[in-house]
Structure 1
Amino acid sequence: MTTETKLKELIDSAKYRLDDFAKFRKLGMIPNDGDFFPAGVHYPPITMYPEVTQEKFFESYKPNENKEYDIYVHIPFCRKRCLFCHYPSKYNAKDEEKDKYLDAMEKEIDFYINILGHDKINARTILIGGGTPTDLSPKQLDRFLKYFTTKIDIGKCKQFNYDVDPITLVGSDGIERLKIMRDYGVDRLTIGVQSFDNDILRKMNRSHDSSLAVESIENSKKYDYQTNIEFIFGHPGQNIKNWLDVLNKAIDVDVPEIQFYRLKVIPYGDQVGTIKRMRDYKPDELISNENAILMKEIAISFLAEKGFHENLRRVFTINKKYISKYAFNQCCQLKDEIGLGLTAFSSLNDRFSLNTQSFKEYYEKIEKGKLPINRGIIRNEDEQRRWAIILPLKNYWISKKIYENRTGTPLGKTFEKKFLNLKKYGLITENGGKIELTKTGAFFADEVVTQFSDPQHLPFPETSYADAELNPYKDN
């Protein structure tokens, strides 16, 4: 079959999703203009938290008895600013700046240990993210991991993840970083390839090209990392044909896990990305919502043909074991998590905190002997119930047992009208001890789980949606 024939076949088979898209707009689940806002990683959304102090956040908090936590560490340095990024970072920072940051983060680790009353923090899973967390010299990387693993007990850690940029895994320094991470127990890498199309990579303002991306993947496999590669769809310059070319290349590099996500135009982090300004001033350069829908369905169908299935939302693997256990614990099991570093978050039972987005404030708080928390929430009963629905439903399924454990309320006693409507339109199904998304519900997962958001935390005003049954402001 020729590439053109295959492309036509995939487009034709994906068009039914455009009918679904139109249908759910009319029902009020999707905004009238088709706009998109990602949901279900945090609730409330990360840009919507009020100010909170360290004292208020830990007031009445009781550390869990097993002393186990999932750990997130944020290292906010990059070589370049990507068009699509909404997070603060420093670009081409000098080693002195990076050392200063590592100094502060070491103190932050010690503060957390003291607050929790532990000798060490026992890690269930770990994710080191950014930024580009491997945008450290090999010497600095070794320094960080040496201190980190003396304070964090990784003896029972089920997975040690690192988000990495391809350019940091090539050349002699790249090989040295791979060796260092492996020596300290890192076993899974998510490589931010984003595209194999060099024209698109230039538009994204990425630091690598396609050949370097392939080289980084091959290097990671040589050192026996579980390798996940990550892509964006819906980016300016993309079309269905070059997207299919990227998917073919993703199969060719032979990894067990492929992740893709839709371009996020509306800020979801602490800094307005260049992509938002582009939409404001050059809207014609962004692809249509309809084409984004087709690209998503084509990717799902194409990967299924190759044996990859969605075993965690937007993560496609050849085996269920190849997923981020960190993400599974955070979003599906709703387990306690500690965040370290600029903009990092901690999620502890009924409360959630965010570290400052300001380097200046981060350093000042640390010097005063305080955690760098500046925003957060202690959820009331209503918000706790919404949180315990939105995260697991978006990413996997709702366990009725976990829901009742986290909220003290049986699942069937809340949001009855919402659940009935979602069942009516074929978006969720209930099976014994769980509620999960159908195939159609999974495709529109962000919009489905937004149904359970409190009106004050909805991304668009009520008038943006049709006045119909699935308008998220109804029955709320």
Structure 2
Amino acid sequence: MSGIYIHIPFCKQACHYCDFHFSTSLKHQTALVDALLKELELRCDSFLAVSETVDTVYFGGGTPSILPISELERILERIRKNYPLSDDAEITLECNPDDLVGNSGRAYCNELKQVGFNRLSLGIQSFQDADLKLMNRAHDAKMAFDALKNSTDFFNNISVDLIYGIPCSEPADLARALQYFIEYSIPHISAYALTVEHKTALEKLIAKGEIPAPDETALEQQFLLVRNTLREAGYDHYEISNFGKPNFHSRHNSSYWSGKPYLGIGPSAHSYLGNTRLWNISNNVLYVKALEAENLPSTSEKLSTYDRHNEFVMTQLRLEKGISLSAYETDFGLEAKAVLLKQAKKYLAVNQLELSDTHLKISEKGLFFADGIAADFFLDASDGILNEYA
């Protein structure tokens, strides 16, 4: 299974917490889409060298729903023309609620379905107007409910984003938001702790004392509230931040976590092709100019065995099933496996990891600390353990 990610780098306004590449100017929108189409053509041969089919297409950003249907359709048509898209491909569009409100929002949903999208990802984040204002979101709570109603009338495969740990927010507000999603029969929920990224507006506001920093204790408590509520409602907690009803796990993101090839198209987009990582320039104008000249605006690196090992550990420990010990041994050898299990003992002793005959996985007690635990298993060339696999 492999996928294509399309980065649409436009937004109506800048969310305070966001550190993704985007622009609030639509001045170069048409030229940017033309460049995306050109990049899809130029990348085709290298992608098909490592993948026979495309099983998922994901439009992210930025705000992909800012584009008119005609532009989205052009991109999908170019993918179908140049890539072997499977008949049951998961085709997702990220949407902001303010693009799906009222009769125009209903018409947009209908048109999205007609041109081939079969999954929507809605950036709800919160149903509290104070939270949305703090984060500088473009929608309010009323728009969020309207978007949920319109989208569920046309799509049954919907994911929503939820942010917890917002300063001054109450656990009761979070609990109500979860109940709203359950009542709307939303089959997939991505729940993220509010993170203070470097050089964001949120970081500056906290530094000035205008907003309090997220509280670690509150973050952990709200994480457990999300997990317990959704599990009781029948959702699988299949990845640290992701909850899905059976058969509604994100196929696109699951391919990332499983180490499958994927192609990233657009400014700042990343690709993973046969142990080679590529990333495009994060500048809309330079991206467009390069592709007008039929040049690929990207940098690449060959991942070392140590890079692959560390990514494997990081992604697998975020998954509910954890690290397959047989797959780990096949890829990295018996010596590395022995080191892994030795290092795991301290986490097993405090019940933050669980070990079976087949898997090493994060326990419920260790979930909130998963990334830190995984980083403790990282190896580098100075260890010498993987040198024979290089």
Q: TM-score, normalised by structure 2?
A: 0.88
- CA distance in 1: counterparts of 2:256 and 2:37, whole angstroms: 24
Letter in 1 for 2:264: G
On the 8 A contact 1:195/1:201 being kept in 2, the answer is yes
Quote the residue 1:37 is aligned against. none
Quote the residue 1:336 is aligned against. 261
Quote the residue 2:215 is aligned against. 288
Quote the residue 2:139 is aligned against. 208
Matched, 1:441 2:355: no
Letter in 1 for 2:357: G
Quote the residue 2:305 is aligned against. 381
Matched, 1:232 2:177: no
- Alpha-carbon deviation of 1:78? 0.9
Secondary structure of the residue that 1:77 maps to in structure 2? coil
Higher relative contact order (Cα pairs below 8 Å, separated by 6+ residues): 1
The partner residue of 2:230 within 303, 317, 322 is 303
Secondary structure of the residue that 2:177 maps to in structure 1? helix
- CA distance in 1: counterparts of 2:210 and 2:377, whole angstroms: 30
- CA distance in 2: counterparts of 1:313 and 1:134, whole angstroms: 27
- CA distance in 2: counterparts of 1:350 and 1:99, whole angstroms: 33
Deviations 1:96-154 (A, max 9, x none): x2111000011101111144467x97312221111111111222222222223322332
Matched, 1:432 2:357: yes
- Tell me: CA distance 1:104–1:193, structure 2 relative to 1, closer, same or farther (3 Å): same
Quote the residue 1:54 is aligned against. none
On the 8 A contact 2:8/2:59 being kept in 1, the answer is yes
On the 8 A contact 1:71/1:125 being kept in 2, the answer is yes
- CA distance in 2: counterparts of 1:418 and 1:139, whole angstroms: 54
On the 8 A contact 1:193/1:229 being kept in 2, the answer is yes
Root mean square deviation of aligned Cα: 2.5
**Structure 1, 250-259 or 343-352: larger mean CA deviation:** 250-259
- Alpha-carbon deviation of 1:327? 1.2
- Tell me: CA distance 1:407–1:353, structure 2 relative to 1, closer, same or farther (3 Å): farther
- Alpha-carbon deviation of 1:252? 3.0
- Tell me: CA distance 1:389–1:283, structure 2 relative to 1, closer, same or farther (3 Å): farther
**Structure 1, 146-155 or 255-264: larger mean CA deviation:** 146-155
- Alpha-carbon deviation of 1:216? 1.4
- Tell me: CA distance 1:360–1:92, structure 2 relative to 1, closer, same or farther (3 Å): closer
Unaligned runs of 5+ in 1: 1-67, 457-476
Quote the residue 2:2 is aligned against. 69
Secondary structure of the residue that 2:34 maps to in structure 1? helix
The partner residue of 1:176 within 100, 107, 115 is 107
Unaligned runs of 5+ in 2: 382-390
Letter in 1 for 2:22: S
- CA distance in 1: counterparts of 2:290 and 2:332, whole angstroms: 33
Identity %: 22
Aligned length, in residue pairs:
379
- CA distance in 1: counterparts of 2:261 and 2:160, whole angstroms: 27
The partner residue of 1:395 within 291, 298, 319 is 319
Letter in 2 for 1:294: Q
Deviations 1:252-286 (A, max 9, x none): 3331222211011134xxxx321121222227522
Matched, 1:321 2:247: yes
The partner residue of 2:72 within 141, 150, 155 is 141
- Tell me: CA distance 1:173–1:153, structure 2 relative to 1, closer, same or farther (3 Å): farther
The partner residue of 2:13 within 80, 100, 103 is 80
Secondary structure of the residue that 2:365 maps to in structure 1? helix
- Alpha-carbon deviation of 1:92? 4.8
- Alpha-carbon deviation of 1:355? 1.3
- CA distance in 2: counterparts of 1:163 and 1:146, whole angstroms: 18
- Tell me: CA distance 1:429–1:139, structure 2 relative to 1, closer, same or farther (3 Å): same
- Alpha-carbon deviation of 1:454? 5.5
Matched, 1:261 2:192: yes
Letter in 2 for 1:202: K
**Structure 1, 224-233 or 100-109: larger mean CA deviation:** 224-233
- Alpha-carbon deviation of 1:174? 2.6
Q: TM-score, normalised by structure 1?
A: 0.73
Letter in 1 for 2:266: G
